[in-house]
Amino acid sequence: MRPLSPTKTPAARTEQIILFRVSGQIFAVSSASVQEVRGVDSLSGAAREMSYPGLRKVKHFVRRGENSVYVVNAAMHFGLPPAPPALVFVLRRTRTALLIDGIEKMTSMSRLQALPLAYCHEERSWYRGLTALDQTVVPVIKPDGFLTPDELFLLDASLSQEADAEARRQAERNAPDEPQDEQDTSITQ
Amino acid sequence: MTLIAETDLQSFVLLRLGDRRFAVMANQIAELVAPSRIFRFPHRTSEVEGVILRRGRIVPVCDVAEKLIGKGLKSRRFYLIAQRRYGSQTEWVALPVTGDCELINAEMTLPSDTDAPHVAGWLSHAGDVIEVLNLTALTPGPIEVPPTAAPLQSQEARP
pLDDT in tens, B27-55: 999 999 999 999 999 999 999 999 999 98
Instruction: Test B157 with A109 for CB contact under 8 angstroms.
Output: yes
pLDDT at residue B143, as a whole number: 73
Element (H, E) at A102: strand A102-109
Q: State the pTM of this model.
A: 0.84
Nearest to A133 by CA among A94, A98, A105, A152: A105
Query: Tens of pLDDT along B77-133?
Result: 899 999 999 999 999 999 999 999 999 999 999 999 999 999 999 999 999 999 999
d(CA A17, CA A13): 13
Are A117 and B91 a contacting pair at CB < 8 A? yes
* Phi, psi for residue B153 in degrees, rounded to 5: -60, -40
The most distant pair of C-alpha atoms in chain B lies apart, rounded to whole Å, by 59
Adjacency order of strands within the sheet including B102-106? B102-106, B10-17, B20-25, B128-133, B119-125
The verdict on A125 touching B (C-beta cutoff 8 Å) is no
Top residue of B38, B43, B85, B148 to mutate, by most chain A CBs within 10 Å, is B43
Q: What is the pLDDT at residue B76?
A: 87
Q: Are A23 and A80 in contact (CB under 8 A)?
A: yes
Task: Answer for the pair A159, A52: CB distance below 8 angstroms, yes or no.
Answer: no
A106 touches B: beta carbon within 8 Å: no
pLDDT for A54? 85
- Alpha-carbon dihedral angle through residues A167, A170, A174, A175, given to the nearest 10 degrees: 60
Q: Which residue of chain B is at minimal alpha-carbon distance from A118? A: B141
Three-state DSSP state, A176: coil
Q: Give the residue extent of every domain in chain A.
A: 15-168
Give residue A4's pLDDT: 56
CA distance B95 to chain A (A): 12
DSSP A44-65: HTT-EE---TT-TTEEEEEEET
Report the half-sphere exposure of A31 (CA within 13 A, side-chain side). 14
Q: What kind of architecture, by CATH, is found in domain B10-138?
A: Beta Barrel (2.40)
Which chain B residues are within 8 Å of A139, Cβ to Cβ?
Answer: 41-42
ipTM: 0.84
Taking the Cβ of residue B42 and every Cβ of chain A, the question of whether any pair is shorter than 8 Å is answered with: yes
pLDDT in tens, B132-146: 999 999 999 997 545
Which chain B residue lies closest to A77 (C-alpha atoms)? Answer: B42
pLDDT at B8: 73
Q: Which residues of A are less than 8 Å from B62 in CB distance? A: 118
- Give me the pLDDT at residue A189, please: 34
Give residues with Cβ within 8 angstroms of A179, minimum separation 6: A185, A188
- Mean pLDDT for each consecutive 10-residue tract of chain A (189 residues)? 60 91 98 96 87 91 91 97 95 97 97 97 97 96 97 92 83 70 43
Interchain contact A81–B (C-beta under 8 A):
no
Distances (CA, A) of A2 to A5, A7, A30, A91, B6: 8, 14, 45, 54, 65
Query: Is residue B63 within 8 angstroms of chain A, CB to CB?
Result: no
**DSSP strands (E only) in A65-101:** 67-73, 87-91, 96-100
3-state secondary structure at position A89? strand
- Assess whether pLDDT exceeds 80 at residue B17: yes
Q: What is the dihedral of CA A80, A20, B54, B138, to 10 degrees?
A: 30
Superfamily for domain range A15-168 = CheA-289, Domain 4 (2.40.50.180)
Residue B3 pLDDT exceeds 90? no
* Closest CB from A13, A123, A131 relative to B44: A123
Q: What is the 3-state secondary structure (H, E, C) of chain B?
A: CCCECCCCCEEEEEEEECCEEEEEEHHHEEEEECCCCCECCCCCCCCEEEEEEECCEEEEEECCHHHHHCCCCCCCCEEEEEEEEECCEEEEEEEEECCCCEEEEECCECCCCCCCCCEEEEEEECCEEEEEECHHHHCCCCCCCCCCCCCCCCCECCC
pLDDT reading at B158 higher than 80 = no
- Predicted local confidence at residue A188, as pLDDT: 40
Domain ranges in chain B?
A: 10-138
